[in-house]
Structure 1
């Protein structure tokens, strides 16, 4: 769990590359954005690979009881498979062909999970995770290589590169803060809880918020190109805002239902030894309710190119979460989950205040 969390924290930075700009770019600027964007993606993925290897090597001082260097370093090498098809993925999202994107993504996830099961059957132990990540990356590369797209090649144009690099840097800061906000509880639990309690908390997070975050990320991934497409067609109106609100409410309702259903589905899917995780799992599902609302808010900010505002919110949410944990100093999985839930409610104050201030502003007309 610790090695996977380190990988997930950095993996989310893949969203900070040129994709956001390529998806929302005008047709005239698209060719330049593609060539320079491809260059940025190679620089980003290579950097992430080296950074993750360095973090894996230094983790032996932060977590001396966990030997995770090999796991972290081998998973880091998967980043080198993504840049080759990154712009094809962005163009697919730009054209709003989310059906094909979802099909390929689902197939890769299914193969990853099946690979873990097969590898464990053949006694691969913890290396099963690494093997699965590599299967995911290679299948992703193979599938998107056959997706037709606008012809382009690696290029460098000074002004365009600087523009993309500036926005990518701002997004990288936002993504690392967002990623830390999502995964910091695992690092905190690894330090504050005993190994047994850390295992219970890790299970609760996987059984509860793991599914919730997958749904939330799928929703926001589809939402961003939808908003950008409407904006390019000058079709960004009140109906779009209403549709976004209704859809977000529906997605968050799934997590509330999941929180209530935890005592039902966990005993069916898992052995009785995990019953002590029921309360923690339910509470983490409620944390996901706040997460989907704030992630929708930041997605809208990005569609409006308000990258600094996005970064400000990410700082606010992370500081709130860290302060709440520092004040409470939880000593059990349930206490940690309650603390995170309280912090997640406070997150909502930022978008609420921002949206309220917009409506209170006088109409320029």
Structure 2
């Protein structure tokens, strides 16, 4: 009987997709662990602080390129409109990425002036070049996700991240400072391009077209608002700590955040990436969608909660041994940040449900309200130090995210089935 249950689990597409994505993240974590150890022993708090600011700025650009909503619309589109959505999304991606590249390079100067650090200008411009490569493979990557071939997604992610980590270690040992984590962002993108283009036959249209652009951008702008607010919340603590407390304090905070949430974040990303196409495939069947959503929540909880508890409880033991005694000061922050993975997982899964049911406007309204509350709590907390900031992040999420999930389930699962249909 046990063998039969195992066979049924392995034949389940959702479980298989989680397995592939989770396996990719596992390989990444092994490589990332070595990278984090090397960086912790070669970086100063200042190096970490500079890297944090660069990644924070790049993260906002990431929202506008990888997550403008075009990809999610492509996954959700019907077969009749698929080709048109692909062609238009391809050109829209180029428009967005070129504009973003120009904007980020221009913004580098006032950003450097704001933080009184002219050394930020060149790294910000270098990271911006990554946007110009993304449209080359974005549509193929979205189509692979639509077809539930997440094995390819997992392989692409794993190979890129492993090579990126190896390159980071080499550059860090070569005393490259914050450039050790900046250069691999751009240098590993060709890996993604090659793998995605080799595994999907779709190719760009020869002529420029913006057919259905209003429909695509309407859907995309709603998701863009949600993703932008989400990224703002994820990075607002970095921005405030760097400005009010200083770059060295930001370096300690960023180390704690990276070491504490990195593993859990990878697991959460794997689960939510697998959950979205599962929900989209039954978007007209509310009963099946409810079953898949609750199964997704249960699966996430069974993995994330024990992992978070284990990691946070062992932090006082492994931090000084693995990363060095100079980071012991960050252990309390690491533990608090690690615990925040639980409400983050709940929030991500709930947002996927709203996207799959074309209710991204509800996600936007919620994120708008919560971001305002979150910002106020951080502005107050930053006056008392970085540990208070970490506590504000955790407490606000523990209170808000269960409310968000309950509210969404009532909105989605208490309505008539026809109101869940695409385009409603």
Q: TM-score, normalised to structure 2's length?
A: 0.80
Structure 1 residue aligned with 2:314: 261
C-alpha distance after superposition, 1:184-211 (max 9, x if no partner): 1110110222443222111101111233
Deviation of 1:294 after TM superposition, in Å, equals: 0.7
Deviation of 1:171 after TM superposition, in Å, equals: 1.6
Structure 2 residue aligned with 1:352: 406
Partners of 1:266 and 1:201 lie apart in 2 by 14
Structure 2 residue aligned with 1:115: 167
Match of 1:133 among 185, 200, 212: 185
Q: Which moved more, 1:152-161 or 1:311-320?
A: 152-161
Partners of 1:291 and 1:297 lie apart in 2 by 10
Partner-residue secondary structure (3-state), 1:148:
coil
Higher relative contact order (CA 8 A, sep 6+): 2
C-alpha distance after superposition, 1:249-293 (max 9, x if no partner): 124312333222322332232001111111100100111211111
> Does residue 137 of structure 2 align to residue 85 of structure 1?
yes
Partner-residue secondary structure (3-state), 2:111:
helix
In the TM superposition, what are the counterparts of 1:1-365 in structure 2 within 5 Å? Answer: 1-13=52-64, 14-65=66-117, 67-150=119-202, 153=205, 160-231=212-283, 236-253=288-305, 254-348=307-401, 349-356=403-410
Deviation of 1:66 after TM superposition, in Å, equals: 5.8
Deviation of 1:176 after TM superposition, in Å, equals: 1.1
Q: Which moved more, 1:100-109 or 1:318-327?
A: 318-327
C-alpha distance after superposition, 1:3-62 (max 9, x if no partner): 111112221332124100110111111111111111111112222222222222210222
C-alpha distance after superposition, 1:132-173 (max 9, x if no partner): 112221211122121123455265655511111111122222
Q: Which runs of 5+ in 2 are unaligned?
A: 1-51, 419-424
Alignment coverage as a number of residue pairs: 364
Q: Which moved more, 1:27-36 or 1:221-230?
A: 221-230
Partners of 1:32 and 1:310 lie apart in 2 by 27
Partners of 2:120 and 2:55 lie apart in 1 by 10
RMSD: 2.4
Q: Is the 8 A contact 1:17 1:41 kept in 2?
A: no
C-alpha distance after superposition, 1:283-310 (max 9, x if no partner): 0011121111111111110011112111
Partners of 1:353 and 1:276 lie apart in 2 by 39
Q: Is the 8 A contact 2:123 2:182 kept in 1?
A: yes
Partners of 2:282 and 2:411 lie apart in 1 by 24
Deviation of 1:351 after TM superposition, in Å, equals: 2.7
Partners of 2:155 and 2:70 lie apart in 1 by 23
Q: Which moved more, 1:129-138 or 1:201-210?
A: 129-138
Q: TM-score, normalised to structure 1's length?
A: 0.92
Partners of 2:276 and 2:67 lie apart in 1 by 12
Partners of 1:328 and 1:78 lie apart in 2 by 34
C-alpha distance after superposition, 1:60-81 (max 9, x if no partner): 2221146211001101001111
C-alpha spacing 1:235/1:135, structure 2 compared with 1 (3 Å): farther
Q: Which moved more, 1:253-262 or 1:25-34?
A: 253-262
C-alpha spacing 1:38/1:194, structure 2 compared with 1 (3 Å): closer
C-alpha spacing 1:52/1:232, structure 2 compared with 1 (3 Å): farther
Structure 1 residue aligned with 2:44: none
Q: Is the 8 A contact 1:301 1:307 kept in 2?
A: yes
Q: Is the 8 A contact 1:193 1:331 kept in 2?
A: no
Q: Is the 8 A contact 2:257 2:337 kept in 1?
A: yes
